[in-house]
Structure 1
């Protein structure tokens, strides 16, 4: 048996468009980067990745607050200590997420 050469049967790469001020199409006709240019580009990429991770943390904190709210309001099905801790998290986590949002806004206008 031989493999089919039909492109529909072949595995295709999953591509996604990334829109970012730091994203850049590399011009193959230009001269190679200097070390300083490369350092600047890599630092910009690192800042973009760090921002992405901080935004992801903010999202997770808000999801955790929603889950904590469900537990806090869950009644007798949950142990008293777990409900009390969840109640405190409902109060704390959104504030922490707002702090993260403020930090992001301050450092990335």
Structure 2
């Protein structure tokens, strides 16, 4: 888990507008990188849910029929959601 963010005052004036612009670009790049990592973590979590759902769906009579059916549909839905996330992420 990432630590909470806090506001930190910067009392030093930037030496130039270019320095400030460069800092903004660097922070934006860092934010995009962290966002990609977060999306990847979401994909991994969905894949784990898909695996568990498939195990339950294929678990036979040990699981109630309604639970197996719900798990089967959930596994299918997870697969589609991960594919959608990957497609959207590849465009960014």
1:86 to 66, 71, 78: 71
Aligned length: 77
Matched, 1:37 2:22: yes
The aligned counterpart of 1:61 is 46
Q: For 1:53 and 1:36, how far apart are their aligned partners in 2?
A: 26
Q: For 2:50 and 2:39, how far apart are their aligned partners in 1?
A: 17
RMSD between aligned residues = 1.8
Instruction: Please tell me whether Structure 1 or Structure 2 has the larger radius of gyration of its CA atoms.
Output: 1
SS at match of 1:34: helix
The aligned counterpart of 2:4 is none
TM-score (norm 2): 0.74
Note the C-alpha offset of 1:79. 2.1
Q: For 1:103 and 1:78, how far apart are their aligned partners in 2?
A: 35
Which 5+ residue runs of structure 1 have no aligned equivalent? 1-30
Q: For 1:89 and 1:106, how far apart are their aligned partners in 2?
A: 26
Note the C-alpha offset of 1:64. 1.2
Compare the two structures and name the one with the higher helix fraction.
2
